[in-house]
Amino acid sequence: MPVYNVLVVSQFNEIEEDARKEIIHRLEEHGMESIPTIEGLWEMNCEAADETDAKDKAIETFVNICRTYPFELRLVAQCGTSQILRRKKKFEP
């Protein structure tokens, strides 16, 4: 299967600092690489059948890590030439 590079831009609203740090640590453990020049920009290499599948896998990983903390997540994900996907999710305690 080919490997695709997925970019995820995130914004964490109404989140405690300790929770934000924990999320960042867990994202790195799961293969997300922070892009140091832009806060909230992440890159992930995904093995997938196509660009859309890679994007979906990256979003699923990102959201599953974040959902354990109460806050609002806004993200934009893009992979290759596939459409850009925007999402807004609010996680409750």
pLDDT at 74: 95
Residue pLDDT, tens place only, 25-36: 999 999 999 998
CATH architecture of residue range(s) 3-91: 2-Layer Sandwich (3.30)
Q: What is the pTM of this model?
A: 0.89
pLDDT band at 80 (very low <50, low <70, confident <90, very high): confident
Q: How far are the Cα atoms of 29, 62, 92 from residue 87, in angstroms, in the given order?
A: 23, 12, 16
Q: Where do the domains of the chain lie? A: 3-91
Q: Beta strand 41-47 with 33-34: parallel, antiparallel or unpaired?
A: antiparallel
